[in-house]
């Protein structure tokens, strides 16, 4: 076997570098020839660390990427798994857990996993999900509702102000019409003999 030229003849050095950089940016770089396989132990540690570092996942822009990067560094997987793949793993774990937690009717009898027999996330995910749901319902809804109420109140105030201005304009026009009609009647009264 011959030595493979890292710079094929159809690529210049710069275009090769640009294609490698594009591959790395898209997550399908040269170094990713294999898909990382998670062991059960790694998955359990992953779930545990995600729960312990919940404050890193605030929903702010790029906070999740930073959070996943920290979790992966603590696990020693920072060079093997990208934060995007860690997020995908977490989403898949939550999806699998929800499928097992709420199986369709009759599943379990037909040999499919039930919530009790489902392999996958441990109770740590259950606790984590409960905390996330409570946080979403408890913390975020009132703030969102308050903002919505504030914006609704502002909208109502604008509508009321607009209606008041329209009413005033209509009253002015009606007054001007009455005054014109009064002048017209006074002119007609002068012309018409009594």
* Whole-number average pLDDT of the chain: 72
| Cα–Cα distance, 5 to 80 (Å, whole number) | 26
* Confidence class for position 6, pLDDT limits 50, 70, 90: very low
Average pLDDT over residues 57-63: 78
Give domain limits for the chain.
35-104
Nearest to 118 by CA among 132, 98, 104: 98
- Extract the runs of DSSP E, i.e. beta strands, from the chain: none
Write the CB contacts of 49 (distance below 8 Å, at least 6 apart in sequence).
Answer: 71, 74, 75
How confident is the model over 144-183, as pLDDT tens digits? 556 667 777 888 888 888 899 999 999 999 999 999 999 9
C-beta separation of 82 from 27 below 8 A:
yes
| Of the candidate ranges 8-17, 61-70, 161-170, the one whose mean pLDDT is the lowest | 8-17
pLDDT at 60: 79
How confident is the model over 66-106, as pLDDT tens digits? 888 898 999 898 888 898 898 888 888 888 877 776 666 55
| Cα–Cα distance, 108 to 102 (Å, whole number) | 11
pLDDT at 136: 55
Q: How far is CA 70 from CA 38, 42, 52, in A?
A: 17, 15, 11
Nearest to 72 by CA among 57, 58, 82, 62: 82
**Of residues 111 and 19, which shows the higher confidence score?**
111
CATH architecture of the domain with residue range 35-104: Orthogonal Bundle (1.10)
pLDDT at 116: 56
Can you give the three-state secondary structure of 146-162, one letter per residue? HHHHHHHHHHHHHHHHH
């Amino acid at each position: 076997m011959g030595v493979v030229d890292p710079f094929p003849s159809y690529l210049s050095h710069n275009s090769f570098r640009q294609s490698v950089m594009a591959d790395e940016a898209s997550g399908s770089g040269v170094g990713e020839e294999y898909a990382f396989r998670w062991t059960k132990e790694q998955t359990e540690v992953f779930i545990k660390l995600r729960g312990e570092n919940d404050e890193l996942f605030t929903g702010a822009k790029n906070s999740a990427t930073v959070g996943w990067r920290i979790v992966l560094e603590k696990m020693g997987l920072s060079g093997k798994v990208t934060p995007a793949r860690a997020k995908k793993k977490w989403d898949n774990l939550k999806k699998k857990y929800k499928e097992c937690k709420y199986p369709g009717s009759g599943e379990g009898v037909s040999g499919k996993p039930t919530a009790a027999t489902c392999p996958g996330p441990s109770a740590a995910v259950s606790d984590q999900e409960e905390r996330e749901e409570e946080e979403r319902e408890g913390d975020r809804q009132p703030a969102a509702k308050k903002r919505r109420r504030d914006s609704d109140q502002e909208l109502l105030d604008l509508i009321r102000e607009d209606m008041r201005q329209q009413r005033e304009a209509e009253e002015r026009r009606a007054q001007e019409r009455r005054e014109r009609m009064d002048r017209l009647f006074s002119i007609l009264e002068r012309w018409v003999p009594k």
